[in-house]
Each structure stands twice: as C-alpha cells, then as structure tokens.
Amino acid sequence: MIKRLLIVGLLVVAVVGGIGYYKLVFEPELVRKIISSSPMPTVTVSAAPAKERPWQRRIAAIGTLRATRGIEVTSEVAGQIVEANFQSGQDVTAGTALVQLDDSTEQAQLKSDLANLKRTQLTFERQSQLYKTRTAPQSAFDEALAARDSAAAAVELTRAQIAKKRIIVPFDGRLGIRLVDVGQYVTPGTAFVALQTLDPIFVDFPVPEQDAADIRKGLTVELKTDAYPGEVFKGKVDALDSRINPETRAMLVRASLPNPDKRLLPGMFANVEVMVGDEQMVLTVPSTAVTYSLYGDTVFVLTKQKDQQGNGSAVSSNRSGIMVEAAHAEEQDAAPKDKPDQNQASPDALYQVERRVVKVGAQLGDDIQIIEGIKAGELVATSGQNKLQGGMTARINNSDPLVPPKTPPKG
C-alpha cells in the first residue's frame, strides 16, 4: 500500500514539474525566439531631404516702435479757445496754426504799449537834440533813453504773450485725436492733440550683453509685426546706447525704418532681427525632424533598400538590430549626373531606418541648422518618429506632412 502511494506521489510530482518547466522555461523561450525571428513591422511616415541654404546669423529681440519726433501739443498760457483749425488724424507741416486762444486783452495792451513807446521815442529825440546843443543835462538824456528802451521792451513782452496764444506746429507730422473744442478754457500744460513724425520711424529693442559687441551702426534690421502678418520691414541700426542696463544686462539699440505709407505706428509691438556676420551655406532639415532628449538630439535617416537588381543604398545590420548605412559617398560622386537620386522619396519604396545623433544649430524659420550628423540630400523622417526605431523599415507618404507650430515671440 505504501509502495503504491509512493509511486502515485512521484507521478504527481513529475507531472507538476513538467507543467512548471513548460510554463516557466520552455514556453517563454519559445515565444522569445518567435518574436525575435519575426520581422519588424513597416510603418508609414513623412520625410524630407536635408538641404543646403544660404544663411546669415541673426540676433532676435523684441522691440517697440517709436516716432522719430513725437510730442503732445500744449499751451504755455491759460485762455479760452476761439479757433481750432485742425482735424483728428490730419497730416500737417511745420508752421501750421492749430489753435488760437483769446488774446483780446493782450491786443489792447499792445496798443497801449505802442502808444507809450511812441511818446517815449519823441521824448528821447527831443532830449537828444538838447543834449547835443548842451542845453540839457546828461541825466535828462539818460532818463529819456531808459524810458524809451523800457517802453520797447514792454511792446516785445506783449507781442510774446500774444504769440503764445497762437499754437503752431513745430515740425511736420501727423496729428492724433483732437482733445479740445472751441470755447473750452485751457490751463497751461493742457494737451490739445498728439503730433508724431512717422516717416522714418524708430524701433527700440534690447540686445543681450553677450551680443553687444556684434552690434554696430548700419547693420540691416528686419522687423515683423502682428498687425501685418507675413510682411517684413527692413531698416538700419541707427544708434546704440552708451551703457548696459545693470538690471537687465542688455544694451538698448535703436533702428530706423522707412515708413512712407505710415502703416507702422508708434507703440506697436515688433519682432526684430539684426543681421550680423557674413552670409554662409548651412545644412538644414525641418524642425519637426529633430527629436530632443537628455541623451542627445537625434533624427531618423531613411535609406532606400536594395532591389533585386542591386539598386539603392546598401545597409547592414549590427547585433543590436540598428541599421548602419554603407559608405557609398565616393561611388555617388563618381556616378553620372543623370542617374536618379536613390534617396528621392518614393511612395512605393521601402526604406531602412537609422537613428542618428546630430548637433543642431540656429533656428531658421520652420527649419533648423544641422552642424554635424547627416549629409545634404539624405532623407529624414519629419513625422511619425514615435513609431520608429533603428532597424525598422518604413514607407514615405508626404500627402499630409506635419506642419511646425507658429513660433511664439521671444521675450
């Protein structure tokens, strides 16, 4: 009886052990071999070739437009407005009369001063004749001269007061919104209207301390505003501040731009770029092609597979499954010029995927500069990178490419 129970127990242990071995060792190994031997799936992505393009280094900044000359037209004296000879938004020239204040009191005072001047002038002439004939003392002549000069000064003072009651335009420009009306009593300093010279127009913008040495007068400036999207206005650096702001560590720069149609207005926000250095050729790819990470910036390079006739770029696989492009630079340079580009995007072709680390440079609109890592003409994936890994195969479909988002202003 004991012998039978022992045999049954051994059989149960053997069966359980076999099942455990199958589930824990044999089956996982079998699944691993099946997965590792199965080919990676083919994914569809959009792609674009790396291109060379001319580029000039730019220093970007946020600027504010300012009038070449701008003031609030005011009065130095108090008075009631009797004339207002201007309209809001009117273009005016220097010397144009805008506002006339009531000067009736000053006009009456001027008549009195002129009469007094005439009287003192006659007295001075009589005393002068008497002094020449030695019939009048020197003191009488001096008093007559002083009275005449005092009366003349009083006339000039009254005329100056009358002139201040007439507000004229000090320079050419465009008027703003009219702030006063006929019959209104104004005090000294009351603003009548804004006056701005709009052509040319200034843009003031800060430049970081580290870029201050590259800025000089005469450099070309490109300006963009939200008011006129897609339009670029060009000007020149006109002046540099004499100091670095100790709070912002930036230098204030002023540029001048022609504004003949007066579309640019003071106070507008502007994205400014200053062209520095010489123009050079750089390699660029769409900015969406670059994947950023803590381990480095990478792009996925797509290389056309060989067909049965051996056309296309040869690739080899290393032990980690990452595809490495074969070196054919010399053969491509020696190939006839009319030979089709093997890296030209084709919707029916299969491409090997290789992940490469690149060194990126400046942002050039929707593109980004690649300093090292790829060559001109190589295809890079511009969308669908989350589906890619080294060693996969891919097809290219550029019917719906990924569009980079609008770059926000850098403030």
Q: What is the pLDDT of residues 159-210, one digit of tens each?
A: 999 999 999 999 999 999 999 999 999 999 999 999 999 999 999 999 999 9
CA distance 94 to 4: 126
CA distance 28 to 5: 34
pLDDT value at residue 49: 92
Range name among 116-125, 302-311, 386-395 with the lowest pLDDT average: 302-311
Tell me which range, 11-20, 36-45, 384-393, is most confidently predicted by mean pLDDT: 384-393
Q: How does pLDDT run across 176-189, given as a tens digit for each residue? A: 999 999 999 999 99
Q: How does pLDDT run across 99-120, given as a tens digit for each residue? A: 999 999 999 999 999 999 999 9
pLDDT value at residue 407: 53
CA distance 22 to 31: 12
Longest CA pairwise span in the chain (Å): 176
pTM of the model: 0.62
pLDDT value at residue 5: 77
Single out the residue of 400, 405, 398, 404 nearest to residue 47, CA to CA. Answer: 398
Q: How does pLDDT run across 219-258, given as a tens digit for each residue? A: 999 999 999 998 999 999 999 999 999 998 999 999 999 9
Q: What is the CB-side half-sphere exposure of residue 234 using CA atoms within 13 A?
A: 4
Cβ atoms of residues 59 and 255 within 8 Å: no
Strand partners, 54: 281
**CATH fold of 57-101+166-277:** Elongation Factor Tu (Ef-tu); domain 3 (2.40.30)
Task: Compute φ and ψ for 381, nearest 5 degrees.
Answer: -70, 130
Q: How does pLDDT run across 135-164, given as a tens digit for each residue? A: 778 888 888 899 999 999 999 999 999 999
Q: Is the predicted pLDDT of residue 34 greater than 90, yes or no?
A: no
pLDDT band with cut points at 50, 70 and 90 for residue 411: very low
Single out the residue of 387, 344, 392 nearest to residue 49, CA to CA. Answer: 344
pLDDT value at residue 35: 62
pLDDT value at residue 308: 44
pLDDT value at residue 141: 84
CA distance 395 to 401: 14
Residue 370, C-beta contacts closer than 8 angstroms, at least 6 positions apart = 50, 283, 284, 285, 299, 358, 359, 360, 361
DSSP codes, 59-70: EEEEEEEEEEEE
CA distance 393 to 323: 10
Single out the residue of 355, 364, 366 nearest to residue 404, CA to CA. Answer: 366
Q: How does pLDDT run across 323-378, given as a tens digit for each residue? A: 333 333 333 444 344 444 445 566 668 888 899 999 998 888 788 999 999 999 89
H/E run at residue 237: strand 233-240
**103-164 belongs to which homologous superfamily?**
Helix hairpin bin (1.10.287.470)
Q: Which residue has the higher pLDDT, 356 or 400?
A: 356
User: Degrees (nearest 5) of the Cα angle 179, 185, 189?
Assistant: 65
Highest CATH level, class, for 42-55+280-396: mainly beta
pLDDT value at residue 323: 36
CA distance 35 to 311: 30
Question: Where along the chain do its domains lie?
Answer: 42-55+280-396, 57-101+166-277, 103-164
pLDDT value at residue 330: 38
Single out the residue of 111, 107, 108, 121 nearest to residue 150, CA to CA. Answer: 121
Range name among 4-13, 173-182, 255-264, 279-288 with the lowest pLDDT average: 4-13
Single out the residue of 280, 409, 387, 303 nearest to residue 353, CA to CA. Answer: 303
Helix/strand/coil (H/E/C) assignment for every residue in 189-226: CCEEEEEEEEEEEEEEEEEEHHHHHHCCCCCEEEEECC
Q: What average pLDDT is seen over the chain?
A: 83
pLDDT value at residue 370: 92
pLDDT value at residue 328: 37
User: Which residue carries 């990676």 as its tokens?
Assistant: 40
